[in-house]
Chains A and B, each alone.
Chain A
Amino acid sequence: MAQTTYPQSIELRNSNINSGNINSGNVFVSYNETVYKSDEDAQIMRWLSILEPEGRHHGVRTDRFDGVGGWLLDTREFRDWRGGEGGTDTAVLFCSGNPGVGKTYLRHVAGFFERSECY
């Protein structure tokens, strides 16, 4: 029973891969889009939590644009962590930053464009 699979959800994932959507993965297969084997399965998924971080991630991803922050994925720290060879000691990677800095920063950049578009 524990190994029950849901063909519908797997199919969804595969079709994303085939269409070249590199952002596919189970995070994006929202539980309420997936057709579960029974009503009870769907109820259990809803019962687990009222939060839907899966949907939230969609929103953040849409706001993002390509090429920004890519340097992080190239750092040795990220690769070592991702590789997972270090065991328990290197299990946690912490990106420490003040969101205000980024936002203020962007406001200046965006502000420049808004002004220039008024001409």
Chain B
Amino acid sequence: MLLTARNNSSLVIDSLCDQAGKGDITVACLYYDFLAHQEQTTANMIGAILRQLVSRSGIPDDLRKAFQDGKRAVGGRRPLRADLMRMLKTAIASLPQVFICIDAVDECLSKNIPELLELLRDIVRESPTTRIFLTARPHVNDDIRRYFPKVVVIPISPNMDDIRNYLEMRLDRDTEPEAMSNDLRAGIIRIMLEKMSDMYV
């Protein structure tokens, strides 16, 4: 988990939120998960993005009206997907700049991926300042490229600097520091890095 794309997406979200605290950007995040297909419907996912966007700027009139209409329907009604898509686009257009970070797109039900990407494409067309950060296993690349031909891809692979940092951190937390010497420490790091590069390069 720690060295994966998910770690990077969490890092990107934090980095953006530092900025959000200072200025005019709004950040929304979304995590797909194989184990939660039932709840992760397109409607729930869009609703979750919309909630993050309006939690700071206030509930827009169209959303309030959709809620009241839904409440009046017999037995109450969940938000409709088409309404959510429309309200999301409106909310994004009303904000200076929105960052949407979606983690593990490949864990979305494959039949829902085109719909998700199409929505993102529409959003970017209508609000070109919007930035979208996606993480996924490499095989989703083709899907993404179909909707965003000029997508910038950064391959994530085990990074030796990351491993070194992790080793340093674990050695710093050693419960018996008196048993450690500089030579031993350097030796552990050297051997671990050698073994790791043999394994993956």
CB distance from A67 to the nearest CB of B (A): 4
Interface centre among B21, B45, B134 (most CB of A within 10 A): B21
A94-B154, A95-B133 known; A50+B44 contact, CB < 8 A: yes
Interchain CA distance A81-B27 in the complex, whole Å: 14
A51-B48, A57-B10, A113-B170 known; A9+B56 contact, CB < 8 A: yes
Q: Which residues of chain B from 44 to 87 have any CB-CB distance to chain A below 8 Å in the complex?
A: 44-48, 50-52, 55-61, 63-64, 67, 70, 78-79, 84
User: Is A73's CB under 8 angstroms from B15's CB?
Assistant: yes
Q: Which residues of A contact B128 (CB under 8 A)?
A: 87-88, 91
What is the total number of residues of chain A having a CB less than 8 Å from a CB of chain B?
78
Q: Which residues of B contact A87 (CB under 8 A)?
A: 128
Q: Which residues of A contact B84 (CB under 8 A)?
A: 48
CB distance from B53 to the nearest CB of A (A): 9
Q: Which residues of chain B from 78 to 120 have any CB-CB distance to chain A below 8 Å in the complex?
A: 78-79, 84, 94, 97, 104, 120
Look across to chain A and name the residue whose beta carbon is closest to the beta carbon of B15: A73
Look across to chain B and name the residue whose beta carbon is closest to the beta carbon of A26: B56
User: Is B162's CB under 8 angstroms from A47's CB?
Assistant: no
Interface centre among A9, A60, A67, A103 (most CB of B within 10 A): A60
Interchain CA distance A108-B138 in the complex, whole Å: 23
Q: Which residues of A contact B129 (CB under 8 A)?
A: 84
A-B contact pairs, 27 of them (CB 8 A): A1-B61, A22-B18, A26-B52, A26-B55, A45-B51, A48-B48, A48-B63, A51-B47, A53-B52, A63-B1, A68-B7, A71-B159, A90-B152, A91-B124, A94-B134, A94-B135, A94-B154, A95-B9, A96-B136, A96-B153, A97-B138, A99-B137, A101-B158, A102-B4, A106-B166, A109-B163, A117-B175
Binding site for A on B (CB under 8 A): 1-18, 20-21, 26-31, 39-40, 43-48, 50-52, 55-61, 63-64, 67, 70, 78-79, 84, 94, 97, 104, 120, 124-125, 128-138, 140-141, 144, 148, 150-159, 161-163, 165-167, 169-170, 175, 192, 195-196, 199-200
Binding site for B on A (CB under 8 A): 1-6, 9-10, 13, 16-17, 22-29, 31, 34, 40-41, 43-45, 47-54, 56-57, 60-61, 63-65, 67-73, 75, 77-78, 80-82, 84, 87-99, 101-103, 105-106, 108-109, 112-113, 117
Sort A-B residue pairs by CB-CB distance and give the 5 closest, nearest first. Answer: A25-B17, A97-B156, A49-B47, A102-B4, A4-B58
